[in-house]
C-alpha cells in the first residue's frame, strides 16, 4: 500500500505541531550532549549570567533555525529538497535540546520572545522558498555561515572555565558548517546584495535582545 502524499494542509498542521514543540515543548536530542562527560565549572554570579546570556542567544538561534527550515520545507518545490531541509532541522533539534539543557544547568531560561522569533523566522523561510529551491538553499548556506561565525565568537567570549558550554558550541559549529556545505552542493546560489547584510543586521538585533530577555 502506497503512503498517502501529504497535502499543503497536512504540512501546515505538521508545521504547527513542530512550532509548538519548539517554543513550548521539551525537544529530545537524538545525540548525547557533547558536554555530558565534562565537569561543571565553578562560575561566579557575573560569569554564570554571562554564560547564560550567550547560551540563551544560541537557544534562540536554534528556535529560529527550526522555523526557517520548517518554512522552507513547507514550500520547497522538490520533494528531495524538502526531505533534505527536514533532515537538517532534525539535527538542529539536537542543538535546541543541548542549549535548553545547558540553560537549566546555568539556572537560567530561554528567551521570553521565542514565539515571536519563531513566527518571524518561519515567514522569512517561506519567502525564501517562494523564490525557488536554489535561492532557498543559498539562504541556508548564508545563514549557516553567519551562524558558524557567531558561534566562533561565543566560544571565545564564554568564561574561560565553562568548557561544558564551549563543547556544545563547538559541535554545533561543526554541524552548521556541514549543513552549509550540503546546501551548496545541492545547488544553493549566492544571495544578492543587500540580503546577507540585512541578515546580519537582523541577527544582531536578535542577539542583543535575547541576551537579556
Q: Residues near 65 by Cβ (< 8 Å), separated by ≥ 6?
A: 89, 92, 95, 96, 121, 143, 147
Amino acid 1: pLDDT: 44
Instruction: Examine residue 194 and say whether the peptide bond preceding it is cis (omega within 30 degrees of 0).
Output: yes
Q: What is the pLDDT of residue 86?
A: 87
Across the chain, which distance is largest between two alpha carbons, in Å? 61
Residue at grid coordinates 558550554: 165
Residue ranges of domains in the chain, CATH in brackets:
43-210 (1.20.1260.10)
CA Rg, the chain, in Å?
17
**Predicted pLDDT at 136:** 92
| C-alpha to C-alpha distance for 68 and 129, rounded to whole angstroms | 10
Residues 6+ apart with CB under 8 A from 193: none
- pTM for this structure? 0.90
Rounded average pLDDT per 10-residue block, the chain, 213 residues: 60 67 80 94 95 97 91 89 87 93 96 93 92 93 93 96 97 94 92 92 94 94
| C-beta of residue 115 within 8 angstroms of C-beta of residue 25 | no
Distance CA 140, CA 53 (A): 25
SS3 140: helix
Amino acid at each position: 500500500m502506497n503512503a498517502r502524499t501529504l497535502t499543503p494542509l497536512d504540512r501546515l498542521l505538521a508545521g504547527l505541531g513542530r512550532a509548538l514543540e519548539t517554543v513550548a515543548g521539551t525537544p529530545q536530542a537524538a545525540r548525547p550532549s557533547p558536554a555530558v562527560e565534562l565537569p561543571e565549572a565553578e562560575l561566579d554570579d557575573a560569569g554564570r549570567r554571562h554564560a547564560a546570556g550567550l547560551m540563551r542567544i544560541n537557544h534562540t538561534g536554534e528556535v529560529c533555525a527550526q522555523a526557517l527550515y520548517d518554512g522552507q520545507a513547507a514550500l520547497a518545490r522538490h520533494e528531495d529538497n524538502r526531505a533534505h531541509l527536514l533532515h537538517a532541522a532534525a539535527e538542529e533539534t539536537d542543538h535546541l535540546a543541548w542549549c535548553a539543557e545547558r540553560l537549566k544547568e546555568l539556572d537560567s531560561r530561554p528567551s521570553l520572545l521565542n514565539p515571536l522569533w519563531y513566527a518571524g523566522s518561519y515567514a522569512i523561510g517561506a519567502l525564501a522558498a517562494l523564490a525557488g529551491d536554489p535561492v532557498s538553499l543559498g539562504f541556508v548556506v548564508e545563514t549557516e555561515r553567519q551562524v558558524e561565525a557567531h558561534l566562533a565568537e561565543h566560544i571565545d567570549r564564554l568564561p574561560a572555565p565553562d568548557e561544558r558550554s564551549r563543547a556544545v558550541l563547538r559541535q554545533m559549529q561543526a554541524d552548521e558548517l556541514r549543513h552549509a556545505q550540503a546546501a551548496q552542493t545541492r545547488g544553493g546560489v549566492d544571495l544578492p546584495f543587500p540580503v546577507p547584510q540585512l541578515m546580519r543586521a537582523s541577527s544582531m538585533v536578535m542577539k542583543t535582545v535575547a541576551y537579556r530577555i
